[in-house]
Amino acid sequence: MSDRLTRQFAFLNAADRLKSVNRANLLMDGSRAENTAEHSWHLALWALVMGDLMPEIDLARVVVLLLLHDLPRVDCGHRVHDPSGVAASERTAAQRLFDLAPPDLTVRLFALWQEFAAADTAEARFARRLSHAQPVFQVLMAAEPPPDHLAAERDGLATRQAARLRQEWPEIHAHACDLLEGRAPCRDLQARLAFLAEADRLKSVHRATTLVDGSRPENSAEHSWHLALYALVLADQAIPGVDPARVIAMLILHDLVEIDVGDVPIHSANGAAHASTETQAAEARAADRLFSLLPDRQGGHLRALWDEFEAAATPDAIFAKSLDRVQPVMANLMSGGGTWTTYNVTFAQLESRVGMKIARGAPQLWDWTRTQAAGFFAKG
């Protein structure tokens, strides 16, 4: 088990580099380029919000495809309008990355990545539709989209990649055209898109934890993507009765309330701030506001998942909480101390604030992680 976990974390730590691969499009507030990890998170959220429009597909599989689809860009970067050689180089990069994982996971993850690339299943085709639509509405739903970006989307919907949406997803193509031309759009789609536009703000919520290379603070959107990937890769560590697909959905949603509340580091205020009644009440108010942006049925379903995560009373939520605690531990180990140094954390505090929650949902995972952390703290 020790060697297996070593390889699982080698893959997960390599995947962290996707947070440093920038894309051509901007965040909706225009403040900076979107990175590929937070883009992958946003696409997975799109799937959760739009999935009921395609009841015949396996939505959980769509979400997994979107979590994985851009991982080769860790090596290849983001290329725009450069099809020559991209497929071959991305395949090589995918094989290198997935080979870091244990052999059974390598086979599974690479097959899922290939499924998306080939678009030969209904799930892969829907995932690709989402990947074509999200950048369009990243511009159209922005409060003040740059005029040149609007012009590019107008042209793109008519002649380039986004024009595929006319055949693939005519309702969303028509909605985009209505927005461009100032016509009244479909109310149901507009509510979903308003929620997704508001969710874009999570990309600007900075956490105390850094990237594994220590180069900058992690934001809550890319953290949510990484946690969903943790749930996929570390599913074998879960306590009995866990449904990994539900855990992934919870982790995609779990930090949305930080749009209003901000990140509350677990070690801040000597470990008291994170669990305070004031923080919990503020997060509940944020959930009320955010999920009410959606149509009632959709908002109620996603809010129930968020509530389940917060309550941490079901096997799925308990395991999700374990992963939410273990990912910052790994980031701190890889970055030379991170928040442990910032907040003068002791090993005993780590065990009480973090270890107990990890062990509750993934006992062997804490045994392994505890050994790694003990080595760090022993060095002073």
Q: What is the DSSP string of 211-272?
A: PTTSSSEEEHHHHHHHHHHHHHHTGGGSPTT--HHHHHHHHHHTTTTHHHH----TTGGGGT
Task: Return d(Cα 187, Cα 320) in angstroms, integer.
Answer: 34
In this structure, are 317 and 252 located in the same domain? yes
* pLDDT, position 82: 58
* pLDDT, position 196: 98
In this structure, are 166 and 287 located in the same domain? no
- The answer to whether the CB of 340 falls within 8 A of the CB of 314 is no
Does any domain span residue 93? Answer: yes
pLDDT values of the chain reduced to their tens digit, one per residue, 380 residues = 689 999 999 999 999 999 999 999 999 999 999 999 999 999 999 999 999 999 999 999 999 999 999 999 999 987 655 565 788 999 999 999 999 999 999 999 999 999 999 999 999 999 999 999 999 999 999 999 999 999 999 998 988 777 889 999 999 999 999 999 999 999 999 999 999 999 999 999 999 999 999 999 999 999 999 999 999 999 999 999 999 999 999 999 999 999 999 999 999 877 766 668 999 999 999 999 999 999 999 999 999 999 999 999 999 999 999 999 999 999 999 999 999 999 999 999 999 999 999 999 999 999 999 999 999 999 87
The residue out of 201, 235, 263 marking a domain boundary is 201
In this structure, are 125 and 23 located in the same domain? yes
In this structure, are 172 and 249 located in the same domain? no
* pLDDT, position 272: 65
Does any domain span residue 176? Answer: yes
The identity of residue 252, as a single letter, is I
In this structure, are 103 and 239 located in the same domain? no
Q: How many other β-carbons are positioned within 10 Å of the β-carbon of residue 380? A: 4
In this structure, are 239 and 324 located in the same domain? yes
In this structure, are 34 and 73 located in the same domain? yes
In this structure, are 213 and 97 located in the same domain? no
Which residues does 55 contact at the CB level (< 8 Å), separation at least 6?
A: none
Q: Is the dihedral of CA 199, 201, 203, 206 positive or negative?
A: negative
Q: Is the dihedral of CA 19, 22, 25, 29 positive or negative?
A: positive
Does any domain span residue 182? Answer: yes
Which pTM was predicted?
A: 0.96
The residue out of 155, 183, 201 marking a domain boundary is 201
Minimal CA–CA distance to 284: which of 262, 305, 310, 266?
310
- How many domains, the chain? 2
Domain hosting residue 235, numbered range: 207-378
Q: How many other β-carbons are positioned within 10 Å of the β-carbon of residue 139? A: 22
* pLDDT, position 159: 85
Does any domain span residue 61? Answer: yes
Does any domain span residue 373? Answer: yes
In this structure, are 115 and 181 located in the same domain? yes
CATH number where 221 lies = 1.10.3210.10
The residue out of 172, 201, 230 marking a domain boundary is 201
- The answer to whether the CB of 241 falls within 8 A of the CB of 203 is no
Does any domain span residue 252? Answer: yes
* pLDDT, position 84: 59
Task: Return d(Cα 115, Cα 105) in angstroms, integer.
Answer: 15
In this structure, are 247 and 222 located in the same domain? yes
Does any domain span residue 142? Answer: yes
Bridge partner residues of 26 (DSSP)? 33
Torsion of CA 182, 188, 193, 195, to 10 degrees: 130
Which H or E run includes 23? Answer: strand 22-26
* pLDDT, position 83: 60
In this structure, are 63 and 79 located in the same domain? yes
**Paired tokens of 341:** 């140094």
Does any domain span residue 12? Answer: no
In this structure, are 27 and 65 located in the same domain? yes
* pLDDT, position 368: 97
